[in-house]
Amino acid sequence: MAETTADRVTRLLSLVTYLREHPGVPVAEVAAQFRTTEAQVLADVNLLWVSGTPGYLPDDLIDFSAEALDHGELTLTDPRGMDRPLRLSSSEALSLLVALRSLAELAGAAPGLAAEQDALASATEKLARATGHAVEQAAAVQVHVRADVPTAILDTVRRAVDQRRRLHLRYVSAADVVTERDVDPVELRSDGVTWSLRAWCYRAEGGRTFRLDRMLAVRVLGAPVAEHPGMTREEPGAWSGDGRLVTLELASQARWVAEHTPVEEVTDLPDGGLRVRLRAGDPAWVTNLLLSLGESVRSVEPPELARQVAARARAALAAYDRLS
């Protein structure tokens, strides 16, 4: 499985700290520590060897003992300060403080965060103290989160989730299609910008994610929610959706998809391309993604998704023909 850029950067930074604390450690031991191969460790060392602080002259670069390396050991001789944790600047601390207070605003409303209010309060207090001379600015920061969802809809959906009651929705999709559907709500979520509901949809006969700002009307029904295997509450941070697994084979220029999209698996191909597996919660989203990738897409599974994307592409081309 290929690793992401973020994964490698994390390992590189950790490697500097580890080698500073373990001079003369064998390469094999480092590989075991980081659960990678000796070849990868040596590749990381070679990359660090030409990395450093601005200026990038020989005295600005991270340095290792070449003699130790000849004996299969690693000794860090000059970490260029990369082995020490950085202090937050005032602007960085204030940015984090705003994010924490935004999360605290959501905690009282989001069921999944209600139990975390004490931890959020503690982290906010410590960060406010850590701002140093900017503590007065930090204390003055006031955050009010505004959701573009009518309060009545949010309250109704939350009540249905809490009481485990079926909902009737009048919903407009990303493709601007209005439908009426009954759903069994599973959980309510917010990313700080939009609210969404994971639910079992009887019209689609499967799990779906519905954005609350696309709900035109909502009504709690008398029927209790039924049991739907597989539709359990997901851990925070998981890629939510209807669980539809999509496999894409992409050219090398589309590697950004693996970096910026929550994927389950990435596999490097011999020709430099890659294969990614992800779970798509919104058919319109994955269709738009594939259309934007154009010639970088080599294959798509499941086949019906490939046919849907091809149909949309043909319809778009036909529209241009009519214009001409």
Average pLDDT of 117-136?
Answer: 68
pLDDT tens, position by position, 176-196: 788 999 999 988 887 656 788
* Beta-strand relationship, 76-78 and 63-64: antiparallel
Residue 265's pLDDT is 82
Q: What's the burial of 251, exposed, middle or buried (CB within 10 Å: 0-12/13-18/19+)? A: middle
**Closest listed residue to residue 259, CA positions, set 274, 270, 245:** 274
239-297 per-position pLDDT tens digit: 344 457 889 999 988 888 887 777 778 888 888 888 988 877 667 778 888 888 888 99
- 50: exposed, middle or buried (Cβ count in 10 Å: 0-12, 13-18, 19+): exposed
Backbone angles phi, psi at 236, to 5 degrees: -55, 140
Share of residues in the chain with pLDDT > 90 (%): 19
- What is the C-alpha to C-alpha distance for residues 262 and 258, in angstroms, rounded to an integer? 7
* Cβ within 8 Å of residue 312, ≥6 positions away: 287, 291
**Distance between CA 32 and CA 164 in Å, rounded?**
48
pLDDT tier, 217 (very low <50, low <70, confident <90, very high otherwise)? very high
Q: Which residues pair with 61 in a beta bridge?
A: 52
Give the Cα separation of 270 and 282 in Å (integer). Answer: 31
